[in-house]
Amino acid sequence: MTKPVRRLLLVLLFLIAIAATAVGAGAWWLGQPLRTSGSSLELEIEPGTSPRGVAQAVVDAGVDTDARWLYYWFRLSQQDRQIRAGNYEITAGTTPRSLLQKLVRGEESLRALTIVEGWTFRQMRAQMGNNEFLKHDTAAMSEAEIMAALGKPGVAAEGRFFPDTYTFAKGSSELAVLRRALRSMERHLEEVWAQRTPDTPLKNVDEALILASIVEKETGRANDRGQIAGVFVNRLRIGMRLQTDPTVIYGLGEAFDGNLRRSDLQADTPWNTYTRAGLPPTPIALPGKASMMAAVRPDPTKAYYFVARGDGTSYFSATLDEHNRAVNRYQRGGK
């Protein structure tokens, strides 16, 4: 055997040894528990996330490893395109192999939080505070601090979170859930705003959100929602004050005792639409998509007034005289 051949064989043996060592190290690594920054981590995989993005999301969630190793493992497994979007819980003892199996099978560990249409931000926070499965990382934060943490400094929190049922992994942070609800509201609002009527008096999406919140609080029956929105849009067009009780109640805050008095209607606050023209400065509640759609595409109506009948429905009037007669009939027991 010539020297060149011997050298070639030695090089090949050396390379084989390196490859075998690498394979052995890789196999060992796949079975080792991943080091995590906590006993339980939340991993959120958004739809459309690439395998490389999934690997980085695992590291960002608090797993102490190199994202490149995870990515190479996903690719070598040939299961990288089978990873499912969702919310996952990474617990102590999770290995790279078991993590991939969980992501491919879609084995989400979920709890649920329902945010109800018409709730205020304060009511939503109370509901989150009572959820035993959430990490209450916003408990000591002010509204302004929460919005800053969500990347919306200076934006009022009221009305900015879409009412829906959100699933999450046990131990997820309140901020994580709020971030999802905020993004969901932004997506729905953009979709709705794109369908607005050409002659809407609303100037932007923020005004649409404000009006939608008022419609949400004023609607007793779903079928009346479009007409209620139409009344307010008619008033905005002619510069007439909205004169809606829910905005007054919101402005009173915790001082409201459940009984709205005439003096309350005369007490000026930024949300008192009896004393101030136009829309209030912020939403007054969390509107659902139906109320948002009604705000930008109200039912055509000649009505400028409406009054609750007492059975959840409303009576609509085109003139003040007609409205006064309706108030006398439905609110004061007249005929």
Confidence band for 89, pLDDT divided at 50, 70 and 90 = confident
User: What's residue 140's pLDDT?
Assistant: 95
Helix 174-193 / helix 205-218 crossing angle, nearest 10 deg: 100
User: What's residue 6's pLDDT?
Assistant: 60
Using alpha carbons, select from 229, 227, 196 the residue that is nearest to residue 210: 229
Q: What is the pLDDT of residues 125-177, one digit of tens each?
A: 999 999 998 999 999 999 999 999 999 999 999 999 999 999 887 778 999 99
What is the average pLDDT across 175-191? 95
N-to-C CA span, the chain? 118
Which residue type occupies 41? L
Query: How many beta carbons lie within 10 A of that of residue 215, not counting itself?
Result: 30
Q: Which residues of 74-92 are buried (b: 16+ CB within 10 A; e: fewer)?
A: beebeebeebeebbbbbbe
Give the range among 82-91, 119-128, 155-164 with minimum mean pLDDT.
Answer: 82-91
pLDDT of 11 higher than 60: no
**What pTM was computed for the model?**
0.70
What is the average pLDDT across 53-72? 91
Confidence band for 220, pLDDT divided at 50, 70 and 90 = confident
Domain range summary for the chain, segments of one domain joined by +: 33-109, 111-190, 196-330
CA 240 to chain centre: 33
Query: How many beta carbons lie within 10 A of that of residue 262, not counting itself?
Result: 7
Which structure tokens are listed for 288?
């659902």
Note whether 265 and 192 are within 8 A (CB). Answer: no
Confidence band for 20, pLDDT divided at 50, 70 and 90 = very low
Pick the CATH number of 33-109 from 3.40.50.12280, 3.40.630.30, 3.40.1160.10, 3.30.1490.480: 3.30.1490.480
Confidence band for 256, pLDDT divided at 50, 70 and 90 = confident
- Please compute Rg for the chain using Cα positions: 29
What is the average pLDDT across 40-45? 85
Please provide the average confidence, as pLDDT, over all residues in the chain: 89
Diameter over CA atoms, the chain: 118
User: What's residue 311's pLDDT?
Assistant: 86
What is the average pLDDT across 183-208? 96
Query: How many beta carbons lie within 10 A of that of residue 277, not counting itself?
Result: 11
User: What's residue 15's pLDDT?
Assistant: 54
